[in-house]
Copies of this chain bind each other. A is one copy, B any other.
Amino acid sequence: MDQPRVAGVGLTHFGAHPDRTGRDLFAEAAASAVEDAGVPREDVEALLYGNFIGEVTESQGHQGPLMAEAAGLRVPATRYESACASAGVAVREAVKRLRSGESDVLLVGGAERMHNVGTRGATAGLAMAADDLYEVRAGVTFPGAYALMARAYFERFGGTREDLAHVAVKNHANALENEYAQFRREVTVEEALEAPIIAEPLGLFDACPITDGAAALVLVSGSYAGEHDLDAPVAITGSGQGGDSLALQDRADVARAPATADAAEEAYAEAGIRASDVGFAEVHDCFTIAEVLAIEELGFYEAGEGVGAARDGETTREGDLPVNLSGGLKAKGHPVGATGASQVVEATRLLRGDHPNSDAVPEGAVGLTHNAGGTVASAVVHVLEAVE
């Protein structure tokens, strides 16, 4: 079985780009990735592209062919959509194709544009990741859904708003030097706690922002990398996906996120590692409580034990297991359909040593990315390792 490599990575600045179309954003990220890979454009065999709600924000479906053309390619192109995990499933499908020998060179990525429809439009659009009939029409928005999960967690395991504030503080600190990040400003625990409540117990600093942006990757088979003597020192050694009911009401336990555990189990088995082998992780912190659930379901912490990790310095850049060195969705930003690819970009940069926070990654560390859709009805996990 072939071991796929990350040959090239590309990102736009994450933030507000109300004057730039999705295709404009993706074209920039794709061009960067192709240039970084040093692969002839004509070798790219297909585009696997993630986008969540282009129909709503740009009246644009069928973005696969549109984005292939924006990337200067005339190749088969498919859009993958699993809400906030859209690019994660695209990366996973690419890994499958490269491993099986079906393909040698693939462009993978995603883009999302949301500022152009305003906060109200973006909130309505994001709600489409939840169950329209049984959640949204009952008044549940995404901050509300994660607030329900946080309440259930606090009731069962304990934990405080201050614990969650430490997650935000950590991720903002990590984003300070990240040139692609939407927010490059420190926040304090006091500032986070004093911010307006958006859905009890979550305040403004518990939520990621609305973000426009794009991310792209050139993924190649190990055999192609070898034959073409590519500088592609990062391999994707494991990939897993988990699923759960879309609506919270259909879950056995609102304080857990088992789709993440399923995805991790599969990815670890493929990579031949255990959770304790992971050296750093980019996890899906759309809300601070989501990071807590993620690091537990990924097996880094027992259930109920992850809520103090940031507070105790265990997941900070100085800790034993740095989480979201990029700044995470919280501070780097969350252009929904791009996020899963962006996490792989960041983990690659961290492993290659060309990320501003690479010094927090020990030699030989195993990296992990975790991308979740909705209230973790979808989850995708990838394991990345530096190879010779």
Residues of A in contact with B (beta carbons under 8 Å apart): 21, 46-47, 52-53, 55-56, 58-62, 64-66, 68-69, 74-83, 89, 93, 96-97, 99-102, 124-125, 127-133, 136, 241-246, 250, 262-263, 373-374, 377-378
Contact = CB atoms under 8 A, between A and B. Distances in A.
Given A56-B55, A61-B52, A75 B374 contact: no
Contacts of A52: 61
B81 A243 contact: no
Contact of A128 (B59, B77, B82): B59
A243 B73 CA distance: 9
Contacts of A74: 243-245
Contacts of A55: 53, 55-56, 125, 128
Contacts of A79: 80-82
Contacts of A93: 78, 93
Given A62-B128, A65-B246, A77 B378 contact: yes
Nearest to A48: B93
Given A62-B246, A64-B378, A374-B62, A21 B82 contact: no
Is chain A's binding surface mostly helix, strand, loop or mixed? Answer: mixed
Given A80-B80, A242-B76, A378 B100 contact: no
A340 to B, nearest CB: 12
A269 to B, nearest CB: 13
A80 B76 CA distance: 13
Given A62-B129, A80-B80, 17 more contacts: A47-B243, A52-B61, A53-B55, A55-B125, A59-B124, A60-B128, A62-B81, A62-B128, A62-B246, A62-B373, A65-B373, A65-B378, A74-B245, A76-B242, A76-B243, A76-B378, A79-B82
A249 B158 CA distance: 60
Contacts of A373: 62, 65
Contacts of A245: 65, 69, 74
A29 to B, nearest CB: 18
A242 B65 CA distance: 10
Nearest to A69: B245
B243 A378 contact: no
Contacts of A96: 96-97, 100, 102
B128 A68 contact: no
Contacts of A133: 21
A7 B93 CA distance: 23
Contacts of A127: 59
17 contacts: A21-B133, A53-B55, A55-B56, A59-B128, A60-B128, A60-B132, A61-B129, A62-B83, A62-B129, A62-B377, A65-B82, A65-B243, A65-B374, A76-B378, A77-B243, A77-B378, A100-B102
A244 to B, nearest CB: 6
A97 B82 CA distance: 19
A46 B58 CA distance: 30
A46 B242 CA distance: 9
A217 B128 CA distance: 26
